[in-house]
Amino acid sequence: MAYRGFTDSQIEAFMWTMKTASATEAAEKMLISQPAISRLLKQLEDRLGFALFERQHNRLLPTRRGTLFYHEVDKVYLGLAHLRVFADKLKDQHVSGQLRIVSMPSLAISLLPALAMELERSYPDLELALYSYRSSQIPDDMIAGRFDFAITTDMRRDPRYQSRHYALPCVCALPASHPLTQLDVIDYQDLNGEVLIYGEPHDPIRQKMQLTLDELNVHPRKVWTVSLQDMAVRLVKSGTGIAVGSCLSALDANEAEIAIRPLRHPVTYEMQILLPLDKDIDPAVAAINTRLIALLEQKIELSQQQFYPR
């Protein structure tokens, strides 16, 4: 630390003298002689251009300017102490700070909280900020540096971020009392005349399912459109119809009121993890992201084993 030529030793001598109200005790704290403390204080006053202490009967009494200067120096030292603690945490891999994670809505409600709770066990000092944006918006936000980790069904690639691609099989979510729950596997022909619950028209699963059903001449009785996976789950619970979604989403939907069945030749649900470029990311955040990827891939593997065992 240097300002107008003063040194760390001069500032430390000043701080200890203020705290102890004694040059002798300040010398003991710094493990130097009392004359050395006096010399450092005199040098600091010369650099500053004003007196820090009044000398009265071998006592040092702070001047008004000295007191005001002390308050400002104390703020700086508090900040430096915080930096030392933070550096120690980084050295010991006890990472603190905030990690910003975003996902498209279909996984944000069910998946993100589960991942966050597991991540918190490894990084108890880490603060997490969880967001849900439309898939089409997420790549642009990653390019702008607004997030540290993103999950999206937008399959655009861009050299301004890293990406990891996943293709997951889809499953059917049926009301527990539906006759098709008697089957172990659902054929597309079984969906003829049923009420199907899909995402919005641009949803990739909906587009693939419609194409497949048209090719097989299978005609649902009615189609419901929902914006959120949670809406589809609630409709299935109420007995309204059959929803088609990824096996990953189905992990949390596998409840008493809902039965999950695999498709014989499932359409795939494609998604990407987006990450900042290595040059744009702190090594500590990169380590956290590696752990987060491992947790997500564990859940993907679990969902595939549960609904499509090999």
pTM over 0.75: no
Cβ atoms 233, 253 nearer than 8 A: yes
Q: What is the mean pLDDT of the chain?
A: 87
Distance CA 72, CA 151 (A): 45
Which of 271, 240, 237, 239 shows the shortest CA–CA distance to 254? 237
Q: Which residue has the higher pLDDT, 22 or 214?
A: 214
- pLDDT for 44 beyond 60: yes
Given a contact cutoff of 8 angstroms between Cβ atoms, the answer to whether 216 and 242 are in contact is: no
CATH of 8-91, one of 1.20.1630.10, 3.30.70.260, 1.10.10.10, 3.30.930.10: 1.10.10.10
Topology of domain 167-269, CATH:
D-Maltodextrin-Binding Protein; domain 2 (3.40.190)
**pLDDT at position 253 over 60:** yes
pLDDT band at 20 (very low <50, low <70, confident <90, very high): confident
Average pLDDT over residues 101-129: 87
Residue 215 scores a pLDDT above 50: yes
H-run or E-run covering 105: helix 105-108
Residue 103 confidence (pLDDT) above 90: yes
pLDDT at residue 23, as a whole number: 87
Express each pLDDT in 181-197 by its tens digit. Answer: 999 999 999 999 999 99
Q: Is 70 exceeded by the pLDDT of residue 125?
A: yes
Cβ-Cβ contacts under 8 Å for 208 (sequence gap 6 or more): 267, 268
* pLDDT, average across residues 148-167: 94
Of the candidates 196, 163, 111, the residue with the CA atom closest to the CA atom of residue 274: 163
Domain residue ranges of the chain, discontinuous segments joined by +: 8-91, 97-165+271-307, 167-269
Residue with tokens 């996902």: 103
Report the pLDDT averaged over residues 94-109: 78
| pLDDT reading at 113 higher than 70 | yes
Which CATH topology does 97-165+271-307 take? D-Maltodextrin-Binding Protein; domain 2 (3.40.190)
Give the three-class secondary structure for 151. Answer: strand
Judged by average pLDDT, the poorest of 44-48, 89-93, 293-297 is 89-93
